[in-house]
Each structure stands twice: as C-alpha cells, then as structure tokens.
C-alpha cells in the first residue's frame, strides 16, 4: 500500500519549501486509493514526507513539466513545488516544521485517512466554518479562541460572498449567552441575517451626542486644517470646551480634561467664539481696536453652523435625550447590550451622511475600546468589532480627506485591543485601500475570490512568506469559497463556507429577470418624497 502512495523524491529544499521530482513511471496523474481517486499535483492538495518518527505535511503550490537530464539523457519529468505546513508527531499534528527533509527523501501522496489527524486538531473546540473544498467529507475546524481573539480580515471582490461569509461565521457564536459582537453596518445588510435576534440601532434615528467625541474627532469635524487661522481656532476651541465641561460638571472639575466624555454646551462654546471673532476693544481708546482674535474664527463658525443647522446631523449635534453626563450609562447600555437583550448589536450607518461617517466610526469604536480599557472584568467581557466595507473609512495613510480619526482609532485597537479584550473583524473588497497597519495586525485571513491584481499582490505581502504561492488560486475560487490562513487553523485550507441561515440582505439584483418582468412599479413621486425627507428604505 505504501508503494502505491509513493510519488517521487525531494530534489531541492529551502526555507520556503521544496521541489519534488515525480517518479518517471508515473504516466497518469490519477491515483486510486481505497476506492477514491486522488490527483497528483493538484493545487492545494497534500503530500507526506516521513522523517524518522515524524511525518511532515506539505501542500502542492505548483506543478510543471520540465526537461531534466538523467544518466546523461534528456527527458521530460513532472516537478512539483511544495510548501511545508506542519508536522505529525506521536499521532498529534503541530503547525510548522522544525526538522526539514533532505534531498532524495521519498514523498507520498496523502489520502483522507492520513490527513484526518491534521484536519481534526481543533475539533475539540467544536467550531467549524464549512467543508474542505478538496475533501468534502471533512469539516474545517478552527481554534475559536485564536480566531476571534487575534483580529480577522475577511477580504474578497464584490460578489464573492463576503457578507454571507461574515454572517455565517457570526451566526455560529451569536446564540451563546455572553457573546458580544458589534457590527458597524454601512449598508444595513445584516439585520436580516439576525432578524429578531439582534439589537438593531439605526444611528441616524438614534442619538450619538457630540459631547462623547474626543477633541481629535471634534477638530476633524469643525476645523479646516488648511485655514491660516487653524492654530488659533484649535487653541481657543480646546480651552472653551474644557471650561464648559468643568462648568457643567463642577463635581468633577479637578479631573476633567478636553477628552473626558462628559456633557458640555456646544451652543455656549459657539457663542463665546463668535464674541471673540467680532470683539473690539474700546477701553481707554478713542477709536475701537480689533481684538486679538477678530475675524479669525469666521470660517470656523461657518463650518460649525453648517453642521448645527443641517437636519441630517441632528442625531449628533442636537441631542434631546443624552443631555447630561449621567446619560452616558444609558447610552453604553444600549450599544453594548448590557441588559442581556441581545448578543449581536448592529449599528446601522446607512442613514449617516457620508462626510461624517469617519467621525462616527471613530467615536463608536473608541467608546467601545475605552469601555473595556477601564473595565476591570475585561477578560470576561471580550468584544468583537466588525468593520464592514472598511476601505470607506479606514483608508491607507494619505488616502481620502478628513479620515484620520477613524483610521488612527482602529489602528490603536488593532495594536492594543487584544490586551483589553477588544478584537476586530475587518471586511473589505479593496484590501489595497485599507490601512496597512490594521491589516498587518490581523492574524487570521479569510480570503475569498480576488480578481484585481493590485489586491492580489497586496494580500501576497500580508500572508506568511511560505504561503504566498497560494494567493495564485484566489481568482479561481467559487462564490462562498475561501482560503483561510492564520493562527487559528492547522494549515492553510480552501473551505466552502457554510451558507448563512437566514442570509443577509446582500443578494445581487437580478437585472435580466427584472427587466423581463418586475414585481413592483416605481412611483417617482414617492421616491422624490422620501428623498426630500431623507427616509431611506
């Protein structure tokens, strides 16, 4: 039986992998073993390399036919490139390789029974995300603690199945009584996937009071950094905010800073800045003299008034419920579901004006991180933050305007969050446009079909060097099929992700079918009316 599985010998080896020269007697790349046909050299299939009491597991990353010289005669032979992924020792599988094979070591094809020990290494956790693409009877088991605790990137082109993948993964842990998942949902796709089982908050209809913002977020919202008077605006704005916070919260005045999340009166701050902007000094002067800040705050006041008077921003700048510092407890209870009402909270950002999305994301993510930063029971209250369509508000450095606060906040969470029980799931169709700092901190990658060469090359830089060859399969993945790489899985695996039930509201519109016959007629007057009223459906 062992002879039937022999396929070749090692001809060269380096730190990235090894080359295998297939046996010259192989005339067919099909091999029947125990009633099943295996394909020698098929991409992402596995081989075994015995080394004394160890068995090294490798993955085929390339197969080619080359001219080689044997005993002085040229001939064509198959050459397989193999990436080493793990070791079986004493019947137990371990990630990584410590003892490397030498040249001329025999190589064997791996069948299902050989790989069962590797595929089931994390079976004890009972957390499986789908079936292995090349071994459909085998489930893909992950170490759930490492998967959710070490940041996750879900990447894939539009239509590859990202939303269904995210929903499927989260649905598997949503029923647990102490699950804490918060989804920042840009397009309101996930409410359907957790209908009746989630805490759904439409941010545009909810109050997100301005006084919870830190100064960086307020500065990004109201101050134009290119204004020649920006430095003066920043200094005075900061001082007035601190003064207002201390005035409204006298019992805490000795500990208040500009970033302390307590109530202050923005209208009061605005009135004071307008006074300084128009101040003229008359004391002891025959002709009034312009004050030190005369005319320097005019553009700032225009920007501020633009936000305060725009009804789209009313949920931020004109709060009616959260107008005392003590209401922060009620606010966090709704966001975190501290009353036990739901294990999944969906923060629907679909109705939020695009130019303030970055600030809102920064505020929400920072509040959640700061909560666990000060939480003495943080180890018993881990939180997963899901950033859907992350490229829209977590761009690479220098990409986009006015997006610094959100990016810097999430970069901090990516670097420090694990210590405080806050983990990230970053979801994007354009990984090349997402902050490299954030993606570089992700230890687990769920990569669906990627067709853009720039995105493929970017992902190639993110995954470990020994697995970069696997990126070449990304354009050929099926919908809902993913390459999973990272600390939480025994070896890189191609997995057909389980279909979510129920599914998110992310299905493609069937243009052709609707053109032939639609089920509902569009009434332009109704659309215009909702447009005017900003009532999104």
pLDDT tens profile 371-429 = 999 999 999 999 999 999 999 899 887 555 445 788 999 999 999 999 999 999 999 99
Dihedral (CA of 310, 315, 320, 325) sign:
negative
Cα–Cα distances (Å) from 21 to 18, 54, 68, in that order, read 10, 21, 10
Q: What is the architecture of the domain spanning 139-209+319-501+510-532? A: 3-Layer(aba) Sandwich (3.40)
- pLDDT above 70 for 369: yes
- Which H, E and C letters describe 329-364, residue by residue? HHHHHHHHCCCCCCCEEEEECCCCCHHHHHHHHHHH
Inter-residue contact 39 to 45 (CB < 8 Å): yes
Largest CA distance in the chain: 110
Cα–Cα distances (Å) from 397 to 128, 250, 400, 415, in that order, read 36, 40, 8, 16
Q: Could you report the per-residue pLDDT of 117-128, keeping only the tens digit for each?
A: 777 778 888 899
Q: Which among 179, 154, 208, 146 has a CA at the least distance from the CA of 387?
A: 154
Residue 147 pLDDT grade (very low, low, confident, very high; cuts 50, 70, 90): very high
Cα–Cα distances (Å) from 23 to 106, 107, 173, 240, in that order, read 10, 10, 47, 80
Of 43-52, 94-103, 468-477, the poorest mean pLDDT is in 468-477
Stretch 348-356: mean pLDDT, rounded? 83
Q: What angle do CA 87, 64, 66 make, to 5 degrees?
A: 120
Please state the separation of Cα 48 from the chain's center in Å: 35
Q: Could you report the per-residue pLDDT of 232-285, keeping only the tens digit for each?
A: 999 999 999 999 999 999 999 999 999 999 999 999 999 999 999 998 887 766
- pLDDT above 60 for 340: no
Coil, helix or strand for 197? coil
Q: Give the pairing of strands 17-22 and 128-132.
A: unpaired
| pTM, 2 dp | 0.84
Beta-carbon contacts of 477 under 8 Å, excluding residues fewer than 6 positions away, are 160, 448, 449, 483, 494
Beta-carbon contacts of 87 under 8 Å, excluding residues fewer than 6 positions away, are 54, 55, 56, 57, 93, 94, 96, 97, 98, 99
Question: Where is pLDDT greater, at 355 or 528?
Answer: 528
Q: How far apart are the first and last CA of the chain?
A: 63
Stretch 440-450: mean pLDDT, rounded? 93
* Whole-angstrom distance, CA of residue 118 vs CA of residue 36: 19
Coil, helix or strand for 473? helix
Inter-residue contact 474 to 434 (CB < 8 Å): no
What residue spans define the domains of the chain? 2-119, 139-209+319-501+510-532, 215-305
Please state the separation of Cα 503 from the chain's center in Å: 19
* Whole-angstrom distance, CA of residue 60 vs CA of residue 42: 7
Task: Give the pLDDT of residue 146.
Answer: 93
Q: Which among 74, 68, 87 has a CA at the least distance from the CA of 21?
A: 68
């Amino acid at each position: 039986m062992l002879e039937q599985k022999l396929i070749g010998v090692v001809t060269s080896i380096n730190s990235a992998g090894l080359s295998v020269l297939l046996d010259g007697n192989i005339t067919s790349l099909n091999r029947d073993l125990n009633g099943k046909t295996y394909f020698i050299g098929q991409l992402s299939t596995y081989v075994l390399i015995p080394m004394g009491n160890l068995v090294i597991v490798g993955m085929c990353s390339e197969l080619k036919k080359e001219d080689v010289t044997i005993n002085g005669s040229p001939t064509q032979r198959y050459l397989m490139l193999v990436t080493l992924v793990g070791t079986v020792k004493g019947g137990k599988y371990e990630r990584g390789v410590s003892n490397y094979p030498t040249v001329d070591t025999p190589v064997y094809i791996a069948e299902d029974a050989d790989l069962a020990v590797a595929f089931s290494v994390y079976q004890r956790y009972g957390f499986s995300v789908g079936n292995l693409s090349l071994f459909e009877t085998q489930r893909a088991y992950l170490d759930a603690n490492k998967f959710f605790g070490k940041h996750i990137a879900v990447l894939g082109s539009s239509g590859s199945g990202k939303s269904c993948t995210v929903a499927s993964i989260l649905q598997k842990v949503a029923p647990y009584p102490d699950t804490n998942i918060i989804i920042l949902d840009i397009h309101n796709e996930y409410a359907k996937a957790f209908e009746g089982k989630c805490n759904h908050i439409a941010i545009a209809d909810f109050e997100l009071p301005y006084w919870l913002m830190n100064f960086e977020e307020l500065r990004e919202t109201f101050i134009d950094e290119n204004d020649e008077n920006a430095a003066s605006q920043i200094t005075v704005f900061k001082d007035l905010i601190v003064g207002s916070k201390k005035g409204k919260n006298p019992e805490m005045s000795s500990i208040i800073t500009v970033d302390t999340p307590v109530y202050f009166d923005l209208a009061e701050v605005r009135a004071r800045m307008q006074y300084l902007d128009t101040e003229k000094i008359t004391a002891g002067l025959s002709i009034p003299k312009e004050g030190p800040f005369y005319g320097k705050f005019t553009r700032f006041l225009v920007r501020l008034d633009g936000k305060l008077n725009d009804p789209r921003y009313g949920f931020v700048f004109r709060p009616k419920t959260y107008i005392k510092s003590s209401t922060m407890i009620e606010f966090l209870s709704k966001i975190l579901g501290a009353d036990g009402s739901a294990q999944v909270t969906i923060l629907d950002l679909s109705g939020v004006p695009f130019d303030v999305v970055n600030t809102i994301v920064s505020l929400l993510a920072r509040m959640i991180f700061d909560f666990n930063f000060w939480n003495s029971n943080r180890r018993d209250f881990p939180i997963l933050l899901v950033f859907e369509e992350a490229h829209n508000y977590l761009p690479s450095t220098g990409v986009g305007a006015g997006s610094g606060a959100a990016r810097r906040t999430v970069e901090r969470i990516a670097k420090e969050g694990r210590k405080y029980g806050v983990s990230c799931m970053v979801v994007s169709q354009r990984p090349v446009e997402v902050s490299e700092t954030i993606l570089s901190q992700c230890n687990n990658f769920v990569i669906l079909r990627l067709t853009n060469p720039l995105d493929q090359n970017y992902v190639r830089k993110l995954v470990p060097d020994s697995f970069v060859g696997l990126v070449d399969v990304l354009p050929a993945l099926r919908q809902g099929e993913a390459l999973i790489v990272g600390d939480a899985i025994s070896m890189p695996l191609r997995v057909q992700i389980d279909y979510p039930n129920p599914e998110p509201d992310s299905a493609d519109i069937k243009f052709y079918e609707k053109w032939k016959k639609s089920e509902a007629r569009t009434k332009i007057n109704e659309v215009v009316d909702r447009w005017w009223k900003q009532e999104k459906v």
